[in-house]
Amino acid sequence: MVRLVERAETLQPFSTFHMNGHWDHDGSRMIEAIRQAVGNPDLKVRPLPWRLLALASPFVPLFRELGEMRYLWETPVRMNNTRLVNALGAEPHTPLNEAVRTTLAGLGCLAESAQLRPA
């Protein structure tokens, strides 16, 4: 974003730029990045209980909202970063493991030893 702001005078007003980001077709890369960040390669993963969320949604607004966003778990969504690459020459990219570890540390989700360990 900073690199785009630095070029603001050369951009059209209200220009839109999409990032390609990290493509994880089945979620396994994100799961492995979380396992690595927390230092637990055997961390269990379970599917989201959509039916239970639907049953509780009349009483828990968050569950109702998650149900409305379920399509994002079922339909691949990819953004085209051509305009961003044309404007900057390349898409800035933080490695997935580093991004996940930094995010979890920033949220206070990692023990101190996991926060200090290099990728």
pLDDT in tens, 83-112: 999 999 999 989 999 999 999 999 999 986
For 36-76, how does the pLDDT look when each residue is reduced to its tens digit (9 = 90+)? 999 999 999 999 999 999 999 999 999 999 999 999 888 98
pLDDT of residue 30: 95
Domain that holds residue 35: 2-116
User: Considering the entire predicted model, what is its pTM?
Assistant: 0.75
pLDDT at 114 over 90: no
Composition of the chain by helix, strand, coil, percent to 5: 50, 0, 50
Residues 6+ apart with CB under 8 A from 88: 3, 4
Number of structural domains in the chain:
1
